Amino acid sequence: MRLLIIGSLQGQLGAATKIAMDRGAKVTHADTIEQGMAELRAGRGADLVFADVALDIGKLVRALSAERICTPVVACGIGTDSRRAVDAIRAGAKEYLPLPPDPELIAAVLAAVADESHQMVYEDEAMAAVIALADQVAGSEASILITGESGTGKEVLARYVHRKSARAEKPFISVNCAAIPENLLESELFGHEKGAFTGAIARRIGKFEEANGGTLLLDEISEMDARLQAKLLRAIQEREIDRVGGTKPVKVDIRIVATSNRDLAEAVKRGLFREDLLYRLNVVNLRLPALRERPKDILALARHFAQKYAQANGVPFRAIAPATERLLISHPWRGNVRELENTIHRSVLLATGNEIGPEAIRLPDGTQVGAQAAPALSGNVRTAVDTASVVTRGLVGRTVADVERDLILDTLDHCLGNRTHAANILGISIRTLRNKLREYSQAGLAIPQPGENRLAG
**Domain pair 124-289 / 379-442, same fold:** no
The CATH number assigned to the domain with range 2-115 reads 3.40.50.2300
**What does DSSP assign to residue 211?**
T
Q: According to the model, what pLDDT value does residue 213 have?
A: 94
Radius of gyration of the CA atoms of the chain, in A: 24
Q: Percentage of the chain surpassing pLDDT 70?
A: 89
Task: Kindly tell me if the per-residue pLDDT of 363 is higher than 90.
Answer: no
Mean of pLDDT values over 6-16: 76
CATH 1.10.8.60 for domain 292-360, yes or no, is yes
Phi then psi for 327, rounded to 5 degrees?
-65, -45
Task: Kindly tell me if the per-residue pLDDT of 351 is higher than 80.
Answer: yes
Task: For 233-275, write each residue's pLDDT tens digit.
Answer: 999 999 999 998 888 899 999 999 999 999 999 999 999 999 9
Q: According to the model, what pLDDT value does residue 80 have?
A: 62
Distances (CA, A) of 22 to 10, 103, 264: 18, 10, 44
Q: Where are the beta strands (DSSP E) in 100-254?
A: 144-147, 172-176, 215-219, 240-241, 250-251
Measured between alpha carbons, how far is 193 from 270 in angstroms, rounded to an integer? 35
Residue pair 324/356 in contact (Cβ under 8 Å)? The answer is yes
Residue pair 328/298 in contact (Cβ under 8 Å)? The answer is yes
Q: According to the model, what pLDDT value does residue 15 have?
A: 78
Structural domain boundaries in the chain: 2-115, 124-289, 292-360, 379-442
- Give the residue from 213, 20, 242 showing the smallest Cα distance to 109: 20
Q: Confidence band (pLDDT; 50, 70, 90) for 105?
A: confident
Looking at 12-16, 329-333, 396-400, which range is the least confident one?
396-400
Residue pair 67/76 in contact (Cβ under 8 Å)? The answer is no
Task: Kindly tell me if the per-residue pLDDT of 109 is higher than 50.
Answer: yes
**Average pLDDT score over the chain:** 84
Q: Please report the sign of the dihedral spanned by the C-alpha atoms of residue 233, residue 236, residue 240, residue 244.
A: positive
Measured between alpha carbons, how far is 196 from 247 in angstroms, rounded to an integer? 11
Mean of pLDDT values over 61-77: 84
Q: Which residue has the higher pLDDT, 340 or 184?
A: 340
The CATH number assigned to the domain with range 124-289 reads 3.40.50.300
Q: According to the model, what pLDDT value does residue 118 have?
A: 58
Helix (H, G, I), strand (E, B) or coil at 380: coil
Mean of pLDDT values over 344-366: 91
pTM (predicted TM-score) = 0.66
Fold of 379-442: Arc Repressor Mutant, subunit A (1.10.10)
Q: According to the model, what pLDDT value does residue 375 have?
A: 45
Name the β-bridge partners of 97: 76
Q: According to the model, what pLDDT value does residue 369 have?
A: 83
Name the β-bridge partners of 285: 145
**What does DSSP assign to residue 272?**
S
Residue pair 173/210 in contact (Cβ under 8 Å)? The answer is yes
Helix (H, G, I), strand (E, B) or coil at 29: strand
Measured between alpha carbons, how far is 186 from 208 in angstroms, rounded to an integer? 11
